[in-house]
Structure 1
Amino acid sequence: MKTIQKYKNFFSVLGQWLLFGIIIGIIVGSATAFLLETNDFLGELREEKNEWLFFLLPLGGIVIGYIYMTFGRVFLNNTLHDAAELNNLVIDGVHGKKQVLKRMGPIVYLATFITVLFGGSTGREGAAVQMGGSVAESVNKFFKLNIIDRKIILMSGISAGFGAAFGTPITGAIFGIEMAVLGKMKFEAIIPCLTASFVGHYIATAAWGVVHEELVIQTVPELSVITFAKVIVVSIIFSLLVILYCQLRHGIQKLSEKYLNKNHMKRAFVGGLIIVALTLIVGSQDYNGRGLDMLEQSFQEDVPPFAFLAKLIFTAVTLGTGFVGGEAIPLFFMGATLGNTLHTFIDLPMSFLAALGMIAAFSGGANTPIAAFLLAMEMFDGKGVEYFFIACLVSYIFSGHHGLWPSQQIQEPKSRLYHIVKGETIENIEKKRNP
């Protein structure tokens, strides 16, 4: 009888996780497909026919600020749950510190559309991840799940959003597990995360016809000690790029909150004015929006040598002042264009360096080396597997305890080289570093 009961419990839990993963995957995959198609339409609308729309970015910032200040804040148990914390709120939800708001999905959708239409420098996976968290929280509430299962289902929401946004279901499954904590992975969540990510991906592509961008590595260098040494050197450079971006992005956010009294409308309005001014100074809209054209170009031909720095500044100002979107695609852009620039100085193939920079920047910024490595495998059909593995680890270690999301918790420090206390968050470490 005990054996029968044990198997009943096993299949009951397994069935629930598969069911929840499928539900989340279907909803998130469909919503992500709408997000991607709408983002593409709005981006093309501004870039091809209405370039003047970027002048309206400050007004769009006021609208975004109003939406978040009016509808994005909820007090529960004397704690503020603010949708404007974006991915950080989802991470806090996984840790059980805060609650992901069900309204977060529609809010981040609208705010992302406004940001993209008017030329803010941002990506899209942030909206997909937050919407995934919002859907997962709705599932948690509907089925009245316990605290442990709630955390696991939130992870599956993250997985569904990422897998559907990039067409990388294996990466999505691991990203949902790896994102919240450095140095620890909760493999108990692998079944719902894998299910949600694969279902979300196939719903987006097979059911809704989403076609993801393809980036191709033309040539991979042969294995040699010299090439490995070069890969390590450039990976360290990419990690420094990540540190610069994270410090600038979070620094701008702190300064704008300090001097504008945490008023989201004022912050985004001023940020919009700065982006308009920067666009006029540069004389091009190459660094507004997602920048997919230059990202693809960096694999094929020379791009402006300081394109990575321009994108870094545009994105840090955009997101640091309260606009909304993802940071993965901007990181891809920065890493790939820096790799393109390094091609002038380092004897490695251009497309290979661009791909290496793209993946290494993501690994160091997101603090997800395993997911980044899998991303390279899925995006580039397994080419250069040994080099990408090294690049992900080197960038992850040398980027230190910086990161895109201050709420990430450090279960284990990256290395004994860093004197970091277990259980700290990146936010607390930054406060100690810059009191």
Structure 2
Amino acid sequence: MFNEEFKEKAIHKIDHNGHRALSVVTWTIASILVGLSVGAFASAFGLSMKWVIKTREANPWLIFFLPVGAVLITYIYKTILKVKDSGTNTVIAAIQSDERLPFRLAPLIFIATLITHLVGGSAGREGAALQMGGAIGNGIGRALKLNSTDKKTMIMCGMSAAFSALFGTPMAAAIFSMEVISVGIMHYAALVPCVISSLVARSVATHMGLGTEMYVIGTIPKFGVVNGILISVFAVICGFVSILFCMSLHKYEEFLSSKLENPYIKAVVGGCSVLVLTLLVGSQTYNSTGSAIIESCFTGATIGLKYFLLKIIFTTLTLSCGYKGGEIVPTLFIGATLGAAMGPILGMPSPLLAAVGMGALFCGVTNCPISSLLICFELFGYEPMPYFLLAVAFSYWVSGYTGLYKSQKIVYSKYKSNFINKKVE
């Protein structure tokens, strides 16, 4: 009796270990496949983005095609996708439920985002990356005949791979896709696949010539009580600005949709709004990604408070009327310019506050504190760690239950260990 029971347990253990070993091999191969395919696709997108932005900067008259670009994007999505697209929310919803994520979303968002930046829409590129990565990951999952749960992991792998390839931050990219889905919990089952996909995709991007963005802060004052208080005050401001940005995007889109039911009319109105605002400002500083302005925040350029406010307005007008892109790069622009402008006011180095602002705003709008810390370490180094740590914590706390992605769930309260399971506001 004892021998039979021992033998049965031994066989069960062998079967269990054999299944686990097979699972590890399968997931490793699948993760590498996602990293290679998404890395190549995202790198091609990143290089195309650079060409498009240079083309627009060399031909400023392209800005007058803003309404045409919005109408063209609306037409492409209406005739080819034929289902409602909610940007990155579509990918998050596909992970949370069994909603279908069409593979054709990948080439569509690729083309639409390039059009947006060619005509001068104020948007980022990570929204396209997350959607492309998610769609490709899901497509590979379907090709491998994975079940519903495993396909969701493949979507997260694709998101990590695309984020890593474009931003050059593999640590943050690996964690972001697991952290952004549900605030308060982490999908650790996807950790190894996401890490592998992220690292492979970054290697592919490097091989294809897509570099990593790095910023030099320069002087970093010693962290102490006074500086800690100043950073906390600044982080609280960042938390409120993140609420302002998210609410502006959501409320204006709702307002525009309620007043203009025809998507083509909405596209024309939105495109003309961005064009008129650009002409009133008198420059194209706030169009497209604004990466040059972010870089200038670390080189001693004079940055006023109007920069972050105008970027919020430009991005709100752009993303509410049909243009495609993302909100993260505009978020980094807002954080960097807010920090650079607040530096002299608070008596702290502007480059340091620009870096802190980028991390704090990223956390405030995504509700992802761990990813925010990692992206700070990868972009700016580890030396300013206490500043990043304090700023991210306060921004996460102050930003409340607002966020960029309406499909994101707040599973556990930010203030108590309570299960609340609500959508972001």
Give the TM interval when normalised to the shorter protein: over 0.9
Q: How does 1:22-421 map to 2 (within 5 A)?
A: 22-47=32-57, 49-74=58-83, 82=84, 84-205=85-206, 207-261=207-261, 263-301=262-300, 302-416=302-416
Amino acid at match of 1:72: L
The secondary structure found in structure 2 opposite 1:98 is: coil
- Deviation at residue 366 of structure 1 after TM alignment: 0.9
Given that 1:181 and 1:408 are in contact with CA atoms closer than 8 Å, whether structure 2 keeps it comes out as yes
Q: Secondary structure at the match of 1:422?
A: strand
Distance 2:384 2:267 in 1: 41
Does the 8 Å CA contact 2:67/2:269 hold for their aligned counterparts?
yes
Q: CA deviation at 1:323?
A: 0.8
Conserved? CA contact 2:126–2:163, under 8 Å: yes
1:250-293 Cα shifts (integer Å, max 9, x gaps): 111111111111x3322222111000000011001000011111
CA distance in 2, matches of 1:272, 1:71: 21
Change (3 A) 1:111 1:147: same
Report the count of equivalent residues: 414
C-alpha separation between the residues in 2 aligned to 1:102 and 1:235? 39
The SS at the match of 2:420 is: coil
**What is the CA-CA distance between 1:383 and the residue it aligns to?**
2.3
Amino acid at match of 1:282: V
Q: 1:289-328: per-residue Cα shift (whole Å, max 9, x none)?
A: 1111111101122123310101110011111112111111
CA distance in 2, matches of 1:143, 1:294: 44
Asked if the contact 1:69–1:264 (Cα under 8 Å) also holds between the matched residues in 2, the reply is no
Give me the whole-angstrom Cα distance separating, in 2, the residues matched to 1:37 and 1:30: 11
1:424 matched residue in structure 2: 422
RMSD over equivalenced CA pairs, Å: 1.3
Q: Distance in 2 between matches of 1:188 and 1:65?
A: 37
Which residues of structure 2 form unaligned runs of 5+? Answer: 1-10
Query: Residue 212 of structure 2 aligns to which amino acid in structure 1?
Result: H
Tell me which amino acid in the other structure corresponds to 2:287. N
What per-residue deviation string (whole Å, max 9, x for no partner) do you get for residues 46-80 of structure 1? 11x21010110100100001111122234xxxxxx
**Residue-by-residue CA offset, 1:19-72 (whole Å, 9 max, x unaligned):** 11111111111111111111111111111x210101101001000011111222
Which structure has the larger Rg? 2
Q: How much does 1:387 deviate? A: 1.4
Q: What residue ranges of structure 1 are gaps of 5+ in the alignment?
A: 75-81, 431-435
Instruction: Please state whether the residue corresponding to 2:326 is helix, strand or coil.
Output: coil
Query: What percentage of residue pairs aligned between the two structures are identical?
Result: 36
Distance in 2 (CA, whole Å) between partners of 1:416 and 1:245 is 25
Structure 1 CA distance for aligned equivalents of residues 16 and 278 of structure 2? 63
Measure the CA separation in 2 of the matches of 1:22 and 1:425.
Answer: 33
